[in-house]
Amino acid sequence: MGLLDALFRSSEILGIAEETLEFALESSEASHPNEYMGLLRGTEASRLGLDRDGLVITDILVIPGTESNSVSATLKTSQVPNDVRALGSVHSHPNGVLQPSNADLGTFGRGSVHIIIGAPYRRTDWKAFDTRGEPRRLDVLGVELPDSEEFFDFTQADIDEELQWD
């Protein structure tokens, strides 16, 4: 089992927290004209006050060293902390095309939901896809997030700190 296979574990995904979606849209706009890219992480629905089993996408992890330009964002897998479990990915298309590229399709096999956000980054300028690049439903859930501190971009110092705890 490779590192990325270990990172992407399947679980039932109920949707994405509204705040998390807004964060991704804002981050994509801030990155323009370069691509924004991150990994999606989830929180148990029960921890968010939902009486359902499954996971809600609540966090976006931006990996340090991600190289981004207007047509691609390359994740350096060596920079991904070992304990990170991702449900999928999110990235932006500054050209506004809400379709996976051929390169995207090559990476979608890992993780079960992949969000593409396109310019001009309005609330409706995004789509979710499955592992095969087919559009999939992803509900936007107005849940209260337990800890807003979970919204941050990891720095190398954070990762070193996390690794020291192991």
Catalytic residue check, 35: yes
Q: Which listed residue (104, 130, 150, 162) binds Zn ion by CB under 5 A?
A: 104
| Binders in 20-39 for Zn ion, by CB under 5 A | none
Q: How many residues bind Zn ion (CB under 5 A)?
A: 2
Taking the complex as a whole, the smallest distance from the CB of residue 100 to Zn ion amounts, in Å, to: 6
Q: Are strands 73-74 and 126-129 parallel, antiparallel or unpaired?
A: unpaired
Q: Are strands 139-141 and 13-17 parallel, antiparallel or unpaired?
A: parallel
Of 6, 47, 51, 28, nearest to 115 (Cα)? Answer: 28
Do the beta carbons of residue 42 and residue 113 sit within 8 Å? no
Taking the complex as a whole, the smallest distance from the CB of residue 104 to Zn ion amounts, in Å, to: 4
For residue 22, which phi and psi values (nearest 5 degrees)? -65, -40
Q: Kindly tell me which of 104 and 130 has the beta carbon lying closer to Zn ion.
A: 104
Of 82, 138, 144, nearest to 114 (Cα)? Answer: 138
User: Which stretch in 25-33, 49-57, 99-107, 157-165 sits in contact with Zn ion by CB under 5 A?
Assistant: 99-107
Q: Where are the beta strands (DSSP E) in the chain?
A: 13-17, 37-44, 55-61, 67-68, 73-74, 88-93, 113-118, 126-129, 139-141
- Which residue is nearest to Zn ion, using beta carbons? 104
Catalytic residue of the set 12, 18, 22, 35: 35
User: Which stretch in 7-15, 75-83, 98-106, 118-126 sits in contact with Zn ion by CB under 5 A?
Assistant: 98-106
Q: Kindly tell me which of 30 and 103 has the beta carbon lying closer to Zn ion.
A: 103
Q: What are the residues binding Zn ion (CB under 5 A)?
A: 101, 104
Which positions are annotated as active-site residues?
Answer: 35
